[in-house]
Structure 1
Amino acid sequence: MSYALLKTLHIGFVVSWFAGLFYLPRIFVNLALAETGPERDRLLLMARKLFRFMTPLAALAVGLGLWLMVGFGFSGGWLHAKLALVAGLIGYHAWCGRLLAAFAAGRNRHGQRWFRVFNEVPVLAMFAVIYLVVAKPF
């Protein structure tokens, strides 16, 4: 597969994964506000479907990124920093899965304010990754 096609697919899957990472915690904010009833059930269904959709996107984004790294020989300190951020995002994704399971079981322990702050984590990580990839500062 050509470098240009591989990179295009990688970026496309990263963007798609990030859309899920941005929106799922917003659903959590609304779930934290919803007490019971059909609204909560609908939000929980939306969250489950989104998580199931974004998980393969994450796997494809990471897999293609590893293919780019190994196949085309990228290296440098910037790449190590980016990989650390990606590992953190994978952990964040898994944490979202645990939070979703807690909502489904009726065991959520966080309020809507906490989820509003939690929602900002992938935004900060995204800008850091973009800076590292574009500027390659070290």
Structure 2
Amino acid sequence: MLYLWLKAFHIIAVVCWFAGLFYLPRLFVYHASAEDAPSRERFSVMERKLYRGIMQPSMVLTLLLGAGMLYLNPAWFKQGWLHAKLTLVFLLIGYHHVCGAMLKRFARGENGRSHVFYRWFNEVPVLFLLAIVILVVIKPF
């Protein structure tokens, strides 16, 4: 029963984390296109609140709840799909922190990239989501 509760809240945390991972780069697209100071400031505030208020807590909960499920199912460590998934999660944490670094550059007014770059950057979490869900559901290894 505990496992099912951990799994339910893990899925909720993952959904919230990915919502932020999808939306923050989209805000970067708009921020990079903003031409006036009030708009740039508004985007900086929105980005900061999203990152600190939703993305960070969701990422931490995702990791803690996932660790709890692994604790209850240590046999999964012998399965290749889990190793592939954890590698992708590790890389996704890196993407998350790259977003945080970009957020700080925008806040300092030091963005040097166009909105086109951020449109492409915005697609990266989709690839992670596809791969992770397929690994968890199909367990191909």
**TM-score grouping bracket, smaller chain normalisation:** over 0.9
How much does 1:40 deviate?
Answer: 1.4
Q: CA offsets per residue over residues 68-97 of structure 1, 9 Å max, x none?
A: 112222231100000011001100010000
The amino acid of 1:3's aligned partner reads Y
Which of 79, 83, 87 is equivalent to 2:86?
83
1:123 aligns with 2:109: no
The amino acid of 1:81's aligned partner reads A
Which residue pairs with 2:67 in the alignment? 66
* Ranges of 4+ aligned residues in structure 1 off by more than 3 Å: none
CA distance in 2 between counterparts of 1:71 and 1:3 reads: 7
CA distance in 1 between counterparts of 2:97 and 2:63 reads: 14
Q: Kindly, what percent of the aligned residue pairs are identical?
A: 52
Structure 1 portions without partners, runs of 5+? none
Which residue pairs with 2:27 in the alignment? 27
RMSD over aligned Cα atoms: 1.0
How much does 1:44 deviate?
Answer: 1.0
Which of 82, 106, 109 is equivalent to 2:109?
106
CA distance in 1 between counterparts of 2:133 and 2:81 reads: 11
CA distance in 2 between counterparts of 1:83 and 1:110 reads: 30
Q: CA offsets per residue over residues 99-136 of structure 1, 9 Å max, x none?
A: 00000111112110110000000011001000000000
CA distance in 2 between counterparts of 1:35 and 1:85 reads: 36
CA distance in 1 between counterparts of 2:83 and 2:102 reads: 28
Which residue pairs with 2:36 in the alignment? 36
**How does the TM-score come out when normalised to structure 1?**
0.96
Q: How many residues align?
A: 138
How much does 1:22 deviate?
Answer: 0.3
The amino acid of 1:56's aligned partner reads P
How much does 1:4 deviate?
Answer: 0.7
**How does the TM-score come out when normalised to structure 2?**
0.94
How much does 1:36 deviate?
Answer: 2.7
